[in-house]
Structure 1
Amino acid sequence: MQTWTRRVPPPRHRRAPAPAAAYLLLGGLYVTMVALSGTALVTGFASYDRVAELARFAFGVFGLVAAVRAARTTALPPRLRQAWGAVAACFAVLVASTPVLVFAVDEAGSAAADISHVIFVVALIIALQRFPLAPMNRRDRLKTGLDALTVLVGGSMVLWYLAFDPYVERHGLAPGVIVSAMVYPIGDLALLFVASLALLRGADRAAQRPLRLLTAGTLVLFVGDAVHGYLNGHDLATQNSWQFVCWITADALLAAAAVEQCRASGGSAREPRPGFRWGRFLPFAAVAVAHLLMLGAAVDEGRFSPWGGLALGGAALSALVLFRQTLVQRETDEQARTDALTGLANRGLFRATSYRTLERGARTGQHSAILVIDMNGFKEINDSFGHKAGDLALVAFAEVLRRCVPAPGLPARLGGDEFAVVLPDVGFPERAYELAGRIAAALGPVAIEGRLITLAASIGVAVSAPGQLTHDELVHRADLAMYRAKALGPDTRWAIWQESLEPSAEPAAVAA
């Protein structure tokens, strides 16, 4: 069956310009405030201190408005709205504390800064804990928790080396000194653990990108606090450009996360899809930082031997172990995405690839296509020649798909004798139809265990214009076309989705 009807693609929905304008305003504000802070740093320290605090105030107002809007969005789940309410509390603390920090005297200003920072961190911890995270089984949650603990240990070593140990060395081991030195580190480490756990696990579809921005801001905030601890531990000025640049950047990222949440809730929800996750590299970074700190400590003492050599050896051993673990993990991931019998992609990878293809097609203006393929006569092969011959027939059929489907198309086995193909970046629908014809022409008799077995299939083709269909809708159309081809007989046939294949809703309307 080689006839089709051309469909006029529906008009693409444009996103409202408000989120883009908000991002432009946020980016312009960030560049302006960093430039003003740098100028003030050149003109004088006191002026720089106030300008930097006013910069944080500006981001606090911006973030407060965006976070409140996200918290009041009824389309979001209640737990997620609570999370953005906690983020709004963070920005409210930032806005309320700025006048005190700008106009207070030294000791009062320092105490107010510490109190406001602790409240800010606690509110951010609550926000991260309230975010709905992606579901995981018990074993995956345990592995994610261990990775987060690895990051926590690495962060503890950073704060010990930069802040806590130098401060105690200079001021002694009095209880008041220890408590003062632990005010920032305890909150920062709790924040680092919660942020790492969220970044490693990932959010559900309602807040994927906002959570990435929020955790990125949290990690930058941790860096800024580490700089603050270093200055405080070495009795240096506790306000400097690097510290405030980190804090201003963290404020900007948190505000961008709130804007992104408003954008995501204002338009159509995205299809959930796995993607490249930077969080998986956090444990490796933590191990690398730990060894660099040990090497730095050996260099600071002026004695590379023996501690410097031991640090280098430990770093080399850790790198080898981590590299081997990465290879094992990659092999496990490939096995989880590959059909064991045929070597084609499995249903999970097929689904994820289809999501990415449709999303990219909506951005680039390209059509996307899916072919659903069902082998004809597979039960008879099993009944007549045995299950081993059936398995070999599946392998031979998969090899035909592998030869016929051009890159970057993805052939997959969905299960049993059902296969599928994802065809991205289809310049015109006829390309998908040509592929169906090529597969049909390639099928025929094959030799299996000394017998000649004819491979035949029913192929259904469905094409989506840019942004037109979701994955489930496209597969549904390809399924209907495949059943149409199967109804034409046992020989290899292929059919294209047409509106006439959809079940008619007219009888129900008449009955009503």
Structure 2
Amino acid sequence: MHSWTKRVPPVHLALGVLYVAVLILSTAALHGESAPYEQVAEGARVVFGLIGMVYAIRAARQPALLPRLRQAWRAITVSLAVLIASPLVVGGLKAAGITAADDVTHVAFVIALLVALQRFPLAPMNSRDRLKAALDAGTVLAGGVVLLWYVSFGPYVDAHGLSPTVVVAAGVYPLVDLALLFIIARALLRGSDPSATRPLRLLAAGTLVLFAGDGVHGYLHGHGQIEMHSPWQFFCWITTDALLAAAAAEQCRAISAGPREARAEVSGGRHLPFAAVAMAHALMLIAAVHEDTLYPWGGLAIGGTVLSALVLFRQTLVQRESDERALTDSLTGLANRARFRATSYRNLARNARSGRWSAVLVIDMNGFKEVNDTLGHKSGDLVLVEFAEVLKRCVPAPGLPCRMGGDEFSVALTDLDHPSQAYDIAGRIAAEMGPVAIDNQLIQLAASIGVAVSAPGELTHDEIVHRADLAMYRAKALGPQTRWAVWQESLEPQPAAAA
């Protein structure tokens, strides 16, 4: 039994403990049991800023990172420096008679963060996919515009009228926040370079919390309470600062842990456009309820929401079908090479943390060429389908049987307590081989199966597949009937003897 704490890096555990301690102190201050609440909150922000800046500087000086990524961490260092200096800067600006001192430092902090996020290296895409990601990010941006209009900018304009002064006074926060929202949505939808995936997700979470906090500020601004900083707003800001520090620490931890193998994965922001559309319609319904009338806007809002829900549901089904098609072999219904590779990477990484074994089976059918030559490719396809059914019956979940192409198959196994479990599955596949009726002829299914296992954290994907390949060729050398073999050191090619 492995403790969950072994899966949480110590630096994140320490930051989590500090974050909880800050919330406890802030709550006590809020109830008048310690120093003034704002002083405790500002002090906590400075502490998280200092921690984050130390890690950000370390990340920015790492030659192993991509140049763009080092630039991004330098910009985050600037952003955190602004955060740390804010109490002094605010004091100086207020002494000079600048009443919006808090807003000046906060906007500078957000702009520096915006520059940093724009510099993060994103996953490569073709022009069409980049356009799709940009359009999806634009949908998220439009949802953000609707939200800010409803909770902050709109009420302020309604109360003070529409003029250049009002637009400038009430629009600075929304503009920088919306730019930040667009950049982070685009990054999540496109996906990042593998070296920055986890840090970028933490930064994205912090950015969304910051957006919520600034929405609270805008609400107070729009309702004539700009002089107040609510506890909710400080809670959002402190959470953002803690997530920024965690992102910088994660980048340094990833460097010390060594390079990670890239793997295909679904973008974490794929549902953001749907969420933005759903939120916009929810606000329309809320506004219609506040109007207390169904005609005309109530009925139109309900009808528009139902229509959008139907379209979004259909689009979700189409997207799911497209994803499955991209990861599934169309003939056999098994997973394809891309899904096998992604699953194998994920299995090895997870089992390295959990202390369990992984395994790969590489399978090559015997006599398949003769079937194609004598009975034709249609019969050959039917043989492949029958063999796929054998794999489906013999490989228990969470094992994943795959067709790699032609008559080559593989199986990814995970969460094994002992290597013998992989050997049992190979033996089960071999025992299931038998004659099948194809075009009124009995054809004996036969295959060569190679098995390779990895102790927790022992092998990479390429290494375990290489070992399974060698074992498969060993099994094929033993005869045309179904055989399986396990990798052993003697199967590795021996270096040529020196002359």
TM-score (norm 2): 0.93
Q: Which amino acid aligns with 1:479?
A: D
Instruction: Give the corresponding residue for 1:443.
Output: 433
> 1:53 touches 1:102 (CA, 8 Å); kept in 2?
no
- Residue 482 of structure 1 deviates from its aligned partner by 0.8
- Residue 305 of structure 1 deviates from its aligned partner by 3.7
Match among 113, 125, 131 for residue 136 of structure 1:
125
1:43 aligned to 2:32?
yes
Q: Residues 40-76 of structure 1, C-alpha deviation per residue, up to 9 Å, x if partnerless?
A: 3333999323332222112111111111111112221
Instruction: Give the corresponding residue for 1:316.
Output: 306
Aligned mates of 2:51, 2:320 — CA distance in 1: 42
Across the aligned residues of Structure 1 and Structure 2, the Cα RMSD in angstroms comes to 2.3
Q: 1:108 to 1:292 in 2, by over 3 A?
A: farther
Q: Which secondary structure does the structure 2 equivalent of 1:279 belong to?
A: coil
Q: Which secondary structure does the structure 1 equivalent of 2:31 belong to?
A: helix
Match among 323, 326, 339 for residue 316 of structure 2:
326
Q: Residues 405-439 of structure 1, C-alpha deviation per residue, up to 9 Å, x if partnerless?
A: 22221111000010111122222222222222222
Q: Select the structure with the greater relative contact order (CA < 8 A; seq sep ≥ 6).
A: 1
TM-score (norm 1): 0.91
Q: Which amino acid aligns with 2:249?
A: V
Greater mean alpha carbon deviation, residues 269-278 or residues 88-97: 269-278
Q: Which secondary structure does the structure 2 equivalent of 1:75 belong to?
A: coil
Match among 146, 150, 156 for residue 157 of structure 1:
146
Aligned mates of 1:159, 1:394 — CA distance in 2: 56
- Residue 220 of structure 1 deviates from its aligned partner by 0.7
Q: Which amino acid aligns with 1:485?
A: A
Instruction: Give the corresponding residue for 1:7.
Output: none
Q: Which secondary structure does the structure 1 equivalent of 2:220 belong to?
A: helix
Match among 150, 165, 181 for residue 176 of structure 1:
165
Q: Which amino acid aligns with 1:174?
A: S
Aligned residues: 494
Q: 1:108 to 1:63 in 2, by over 3 A?
A: farther
> 2:57 touches 2:74 (CA, 8 Å); kept in 1?
yes
Aligned mates of 1:305, 1:270 — CA distance in 2: 58
> 1:461 touches 1:495 (CA, 8 Å); kept in 2?
yes
> 1:339 touches 1:413 (CA, 8 Å); kept in 2?
yes
Counting aligned pairs with the same residue, the percent is 65
Instruction: Give the corresponding residue for 1:32.
Output: 21
Match among 179, 185, 190 for residue 196 of structure 1:
185
Gaps of 5+ in 1: 1-14
Q: Which secondary structure does the structure 1 equivalent of 2:194 belong to?
A: coil
Instruction: Give the corresponding residue for 2:415.
Output: 425
Q: Which amino acid aligns with 1:244?
A: F
1:81 aligned to 2:49?
no
Greater mean alpha carbon deviation, residues 436-445 or residues 471-480: 436-445
Q: 1:46 to 1:295 in 2, by over 3 A?
A: farther
Instruction: Give the corresponding residue for 1:219.
Output: 208
Aligned mates of 1:154, 1:233 — CA distance in 2: 19
Aligned mates of 1:304, 1:240 — CA distance in 2: 35
Q: Residues 195-241 of structure 1, C-alpha deviation per residue, up to 9 Å, x if partnerless?
A: 11111222121011110000110111111111111111111143111
Instruction: Give the corresponding residue for 1:205.
Output: 194
Greater mean alpha carbon deviation, residues 316-325 or residues 161-170: 161-170
Q: Which amino acid aligns with 2:25?
A: L
Q: 1:286 to 1:107 in 2, by over 3 A?
A: farther
Instruction: Give the corresponding residue for 1:264.
Output: 254
Q: How does 1:395-410 map to 2 (within 5 A)?
A: 395-410=385-400
Aligned mates of 2:191, 2:97 — CA distance in 1: 40
Instruction: Give the corresponding residue for 1:375.
Output: 365
Instruction: Give the corresponding residue for 2:237.
Output: 247
Q: How does 1:88-103 map to 2 (within 5 A)?
A: 88-101=77-90
Aligned mates of 1:196, 1:401 — CA distance in 2: 40
Gaps of 5+ in 2: none
Aligned mates of 2:242, 2:9 — CA distance in 1: 15
Aligned mates of 1:25, 1:313 — CA distance in 2: 50
